[in-house]
Structure 1
Amino acid sequence: MENIFVVRPFSTTSIGWWYAERDQIDLSPSYQRKSGVWAPKDKAYLIDSIINGYDVPKFYIADFSYASSDLNTAGRSYAVIDGRQRFEAIFDFLDGRITLNSDMKYLADKSVRLAGMTVRDMEKEHPRIIRRIESFNLSVMSVITNQADRINDLFVRLNKSKPLTGAEVRSAMAGEVPRFIREIASHDFFVTAVGFTNQRKQHENVAAKLLIIEHRGSFVETKKTNLDRFVSEAILTESDFSRSAHRVIQTLDLMYKTFGHANLLLKSSGMLPVYYWLSREFGERSDFVYYLKLFEVFRNDHKSHPAVIAFNSVSRSTNDEFSYHVRHYVLREFILGGGQIDPISFSIV
């Protein structure tokens, strides 16, 4: 099939129509943010806008209803390119999962009190307004294409003025590296062991750090600009990322066993690349995680120890190459020393 990329208005459709078709909508293709970015009050504010007749921004969907496509990995008729949070807000309200905000006012008739109501309340007391919501027409653009890079590029362009995280932008880039990053981020280690959320693709952000460190064979700076460059330049300049990604997944398999579920050492992402590299060295030792936990006690009890001072100092800049090397060196010496570091002989070399 020749390359296709067509953007055109979807046939006029109402909220009620899309609600009925919600099982045919893939709300979480690879380039999308994770759900939960909008708070309930933000979702309720969108419903407020719809009830009061305000305009709602355009939705963009990949339309697979016209023909089969390799891009349709979820096997559904539509995939959201832009508008996921708005669709979720609408569906959550009609499913009865959110209430209208306490300061909500019905501008068409100020004597009508809708504040704090759920869809069930409104069906009993104001069914006419519910029908108005269901008949509200959404402006939807249909994107017909068989080119993944064009969908990803459209997502980035539509969100150019929005505060996308680096991980969200990298996920939408072309090439094999974003795919490997997503595969790493879906590992059970991220799903059950770490304590930080994935609402803004934080798991993918850490996965990108692990992949670049593994691929370079050493610690490197992992700030946004370096990660972005790694993903974009990889398309043209490098290859064999599958081998690096495989090694990352192998190490995560080991970490999943050694760290277990919801380990407090993993409540934030800053130390994870250091723990990853140490796992490559010591992960087979039965006492490995014990010494990592013991160091946190040692760090708290020996604040004036030169190793602790060095560790705490560089921990303020977790993405710097020097910070990685120092933290790794201190923890490595602590493990090799059986839970001790000689303050006299200790030095950063």
Structure 2
Amino acid sequence: MFEVHTFDPKTLSWWFDQLDNIDLDPPYQRRGKLWSDRDRAFLIDSILNGYDVPKVYVADFAFGRAQLNTSGKQYAVIDGKQRLGAIFDFFSNKLRLADNFEWTVNPELRLGGLSYNDLLQNHPKVASRFANFNLSVMRVITDDEGKINELFVRLNRSKPLTGAEVRNAMGGIVPQLIRDLCAHRFFATRIKFSTERRQDQNAAAKLLLVEFRGNPVGTQKPNIDRFVDEGIKAQAGTEEFARAASRCIEVLSRMADIFSERDPLLSSAGPLPVLYWFIRETPPEKDKLIRSFLVKFAKERRDNKLLAKVGGRNVDNELALYDQLDRSTDNQGSIEGRVDILRRRFK
């Protein structure tokens, strides 16, 4: 079953009253906080000044509990999370009107910088205009997880979704395993790079891919997408994928013990497949030596670059090769070459 209907007209205040019954962060969604406060305030400006606001799509689980309804709430946002988040934050006084806000109905009113509570107390007509604005919402009724995922991807096709965001909305076992890996304390506490656009899931997908293949393979987007497709086609025969994830978790546990909290060595996601395979192939009894080795190795690379820049005679060609390979970070040969260099220098 898959049906899309226009929701009966409901005001913003009605939707705010439903806040506890709305899952704003289902698995297929983008992560929040992508809009700046300026963008969010501009949406409130548009509502108060009567401009059109794009449709919001919500899954309605009132007609049966779909597999995708992991939160147990009646509604889950498919498209429009940033809009609803801005609206709810304005109601909650966590967001204010822009300082240069002008209400076209009465430009003489000085409303810039005011919160919703300020409007209620001093300008109730303006507050009422916001609260009673009818948001255009589409109700999606389905018991098919894949249909909701497909709708999310289609609605966002023209938007700059990252590969990880699209991949996260796909079906099969692999996206769920990737999310499980990202819940590991390594990703939760050790990495230092941004995760707002699911960079952690992209990195986790690469680690799961090389573990599943059993050797360092190319981790370019087409390879990861093909891997996700394999998981979809596998259907019942997913044990091999689950075993690879278990092995991956074992290595991530070692990495969590090796690296420190928000480790500067993990400021970029690019080297993770190299570090993962290097640590995977190193005996666990050597784990206590790995971080100090990597710190020393990073310093040697920096010093070697400076030496090469000034035309020094004692340039380390192996370190120069590592830097050259590092430019093609997802290439199979690059990953294998860097792992080999790390192994040799570690010994």
Q: 1:99 aligns to what?
A: 96
**Cα distance, 1:61 vs. partner?**
0.7
Give the 3-state SS of the residue equivalent to 2:29 in structure 1: coil
1:261 match: 261
Retained in 2: the 8 A contact 1:258–1:283? no
Please, what is the CA RMSD of the aligned residues? 1.5
In the TM superposition, residue 328 of structure 1 has moved relative to its aligned partner by 1.1
Q: What amino acid maps onto 1:312 in structure 2?
A: D
- Counterpart Cα distance in 2 of 1:330 and 1:156: 40
2:277 paired with 1:277: yes
Matched residue, 1:319? 330
Q: Which piece of structure 1 moves more, 276-285 or 305-314?
A: 276-285
Displacement of 1:235 in angstroms is: 2.5
Superposed counterparts of 1:19-58, under 5 Å:
19-58=16-55
Q: What's 2:4 paired with? A: 7
The answer to whether structure 1 residue 244 and structure 2 residue 241 are counterparts is no
Q: What is the one-letter code of the residue matched to 2:262?
A: A
Report the equivalent of 1:291: 293
Letter in 1 for 2:319: V
Counterpart amino acid of residue 15 in structure 1: L
Please, which moves more after superposition, 315-324 or 232-241? 232-241
Which shows bigger deviation, 225-234 or 322-331? 225-234
The runs of at least 4 aligned residues of structure 1 exceeding 6 Å deviation read none
Q: 2:346 aligns with which of 320, 323, 335?
A: 335
Which of the numbers 204, 217, 235 marks the counterpart of 2:214?
217
Superposition map of 1:71-90 within 5 A: 71-90=68-87
Equivalent position of 1:139 in the other structure: 136
Q: Equivalents in 1 of 2:344, 2:22: separation in Å? A: 53
After superposing the two structures, state which structure 1 stretch, 283-292 or 198-207, moved more: 283-292
SS for the counterpart of 1:143 is strand
The match for 2:318 among 296, 299, 307 is: 307
Equivalent residue of 1:227, what SS? helix
User: CA–CA distance in 2 between the matches of 1:42 and 1:171?
Assistant: 25
Query: More deviation in 102-111 or 154-163?
Result: 102-111
SS in 1 for 2:3: strand
Residue identity in the other structure for 1:72: N
8 Å CA contact 1:31, 1:152 repeated in 2: yes
Of the candidates 143, 146, 163, which is equivalent to residue 149 of structure 1?
Answer: 146
Which range is displaced more, 284-293 or 43-52? 284-293
Deviation at 1:234, TM superposition (A): 3.5
Kept in 1: contact 2:164–2:198 (CA 8 A) = yes
**Residues of 1 paired with 2:283 and 2:4: CA distance?**
51
Runs of 5+ unmatched residues, structure 2: 306-314
- Cα distance, 1:170 vs structure 2: 0.7
- C-alpha distance in structure 2 between counterparts of 1:333 and 1:180, whole Å: 33
* CA distance in 2 between partners of 1:105 and 1:74 (Å): 40
Of 120, 123, 127, 1:123 maps to 120
Cα deviation, 1:317-339, whole Å, max 9, x if unaligned, reads 21111221122112111111xxx
Please give the per-residue CA displacement for 1:167-192, whole angstroms capped at 9, x wherever unaligned: 01111112111111111122121111
CA distance in structure 2 between the partners assigned to 1:289 and 1:330 by the alignment: 16
Q: Which amino acid aligns with 1:306?
A: N
Distance 2:66 2:147 in 1: 14
Q: Which moved more, 1:246-255 or 1:221-230?
A: 221-230
| Superposed displacement of residue 79, structure 1 | 0.5
Deviations 1:244-302 (A, max 9, x none): 11111111111111213111111110111111111112262211111111111111223
d(CA) in 1 for partners of 2:111, 2:333: 57
Question: In the alignment, residue 163 of structure 2 is paired with which amino acid?
Answer: G
Render the CA deviation track for 1:50-104: whole Å, top value 9, x for unaligned.
0101111111111112333333211111110111111111111111112222332
2:156 is equivalent to residue 159 of structure 1: yes
CA distance in 1, matches of 2:262, 2:186: 9
Contact kept? 1:37, 1:199, Cα under 8 Å:
yes
Give yes or no for contact 1:282–1:288 (8 Å, CA) kept in 2.
no
TM-score (norm 1): 0.92
Aligned-partner SS, 1:11: coil
Partner Cα distance (2:194, 2:214) in 1: 28
What are the ranges of 5 or more consecutive residues in structure 1 without an aligned counterpart?
337-349
Structure 1 distance, partners of 2:87, 2:95, is: 10
Structure 1 window deviating more from structure 2 (221-230 vs 20-29): it is 221-230
